[in-house]
Amino acid sequence: MHELALADAVMKAALQAADDAGIDRIQRLVVKVGELQQIEKDLFEFSLTSVLAAQDPRLSGAKFDVEEEAVRFGCNACGREYGRDDASLGDDAEQAEAIHFIPELSHAFARCPSCGSPDFQIMAGRGITLESLEGSGGGDG
Ligand SMILES: [Zn+2]
């Protein structure tokens, strides 16, 4: 189960971050999921809240927010950063429809809106990041 493995990785990172910050009880976790990351969001949230939260007392009662991170491209030719909506995708309706249903395809079709170069890197919108963590620390450090 892909989502559970990802949730597990997020949780390990969260517990590590909590250790570093001296947090004994995590109250809120914000996780960003890139729109190019192909996951079942409901299953991912379920993995976080129901499966993993039960495994560590620091997480019991924690609130999880899963937010989607929009994809950002960075042009390798001129340095411009642009989003999926800015990307020049041409007039091909079939192609546009394919991208609508499978955002991952924008990777294959995007062109820089400034210079038209297809040579870009993905700056954001891929993978899963632990965005923030709130909690309270105990007294015995
Ligand atoms: Zn460019």
How far away, in angstroms, is 127 Cα from ligand 1 center?
Answer: 24
pLDDT (tens digit per residue) in 44-93: 998 988 888 788 889 888 899 999 999 899 999 999 999 988 887 656 67
How far away, in angstroms, is 34 Cα from ligand 1 center?
Answer: 22
Q: Which two tokens stand for residue 26?
A: 């995590």
Instruction: Write down the pLDDT at residue 17.
Output: 92
What the chain holds in terms of domains, given with CATH numbers, is 2-70+125-136 (3.30.2320.50), 72-123 (no CATH)
| pLDDT at residue 137 is higher than 80 | yes
Residue 5 CB coordination number (10 Å) = 10
| pLDDT at residue 120 is higher than 60 | yes
Q: Summarize the confidence of residues 102-111 as an average pLDDT.
A: 69
pLDDT (tens digit per residue) in 4-32: 999 999 999 999 999 999 999 999 999 99
pLDDT (tens digit per residue) in 93-105: 776 677 666 666 6
How far away, in angstroms, is 75 Cα from ligand 1 center?
Answer: 5
